[in-house]
Amino acid sequence: MPYVERVTKAGKTIEVDRYYTSRYHKAGIKRGDKVRPTNEAQKKANTRKAERTLRLLLAENYQDGDLHIDFGYIRKKGEPYRTREEMRKDADVFLRELRKVYKQQGQELKYVHVMEVGEKGSRHHHLVVNYIDTRLIQAAWKKAYPQNSKIHFHPLDTNGDYSRLAAYLIKYTDKTVGTDEALQGKRWNCSKNLRRPEPEYRIIKDRNQYYTEPKPLKGYYIDQDSVRVGVHSEEFYGYGFLSYRMVRLE
């Protein structure tokens, strides 16, 4: 049974996963028979997979100076909350306005959008976008939703590692994903112009090499919080694995 190393480069990060596989051919990797996990274990595995996909997407498409936007509604006492359909319509109108603004600035809008219901029932949106003047973005939201509204801007980290942001956004989707209460059909929506990082695979023939301690490439450091090692049946089909993330040094 071969050992496989999957390396995914995204922006300033490189993610490495080493695991067993029961089958391999030239077109790529196929997994073997799956060990049936418990419902809770499967839910955790799905969350980890969603976080990985989103953080790679963010790392590949955004950089220092781009924006995480938190925008929502100021609800007067006694007013009903915005419904799921109303929130979707608000977001559609806002994104349509933003596309116009970005085009006027000679840019193309790149976005990731997540809708959220807060612990106390408040409704708001998260949007990750490439940078333009925040006053233009604020004006577009006011035009899309002219009633009482609020908007906050958070510049992205300089190191290009957006794992915490991805985990933060996915945490809220975990509450309702796959249920009738879900605000979106998917955990997030995004523009079609985002680049999707493609992994590279190689077979590890030397068993000792598989268990080698992770070492950063020159010009990178290893995010120690990202190092995971063990056996995970719901993710790697009952076999051992090692995964870690490297971040480019500034």
With 90 as the cut, is the pLDDT of residue 204 above it?
A: no
pLDDT (average), residues 202-218: 78
Task: Give the count of beta carbons closer than 10 Å to the beta carbon of residue 96.
Answer: 13
Q: What is the share, in percent, of the chain residues with pLDDT greater than 70?
A: 80
Write out the two tokens for 61.
């498409």
Contact criterion met (CB below 8 Å) for 91 and 187 = no
Q: Which helix (H) or strand (E) covers residue 139, if one does? A: helix 134-144
* Angle (CA) 182 153 79, round 5°: 50
How far is the CA of 76 from the CAs of 94, 100, 134, 152, in angstroms?
22, 31, 26, 19
Highest mean pLDDT among 28-37, 78-87, 188-197 belongs to: 188-197
pLDDT at 40: 75
Q: Which of 72-76, 111-115, 159-163, 167-171 has the lowest average pLDDT?
A: 72-76
With 80 as the cut, is the pLDDT of residue 183 above it?
A: no
Per-residue pLDDT tens digits for 85-111: 999 999 999 999 999 999 999 999 999
Nearest to 87 by CA among 58, 35, 120, 123: 123
pLDDT at 234: 43
pLDDT at 45: 79
pLDDT (average), residues 118-123: 74
Task: Give the count of beta carbons closer than 10 Å to the beta carbon of residue 188.
Answer: 20
Nearest to 83 by CA among 233, 183, 206: 183
* 172 φ, ψ (degrees, to nearest 5): -75, -30
All structural domains of the chain with their residue ranges: 3-36+197-248, 67-155
pLDDT (average), residues 188-205: 92
Q: Which of 118-127, 143-152, 173-182, 203-212 has the lowest average pLDDT?
A: 173-182
- Integer Cα distance of 54 and 66 in angstroms: 16
Q: Which of 51-65, 110-124, 204-218 has the lowest average pLDDT?
A: 204-218
Q: What is the share, in percent, of the chain residues with pLDDT greater than 90?
A: 52
* Confidence category of residue 143, pLDDT binned at 50, 70, 90: very high
Write out the two tokens for 28.
């790529």
Per-residue pLDDT tens digits for 8-49: 999 999 999 988 766 554 444 444 445 555 677 777 878 889
Give 67-155's CATH code, choosing from 3.30.70.270, 3.60.110.10, 3.30.70.3400, 3.30.1490.20. 3.30.70.3400
* Confidence category of residue 244, pLDDT binned at 50, 70, 90: very high
Tell me the whole-structure pTM to 2 decimals.
Answer: 0.84
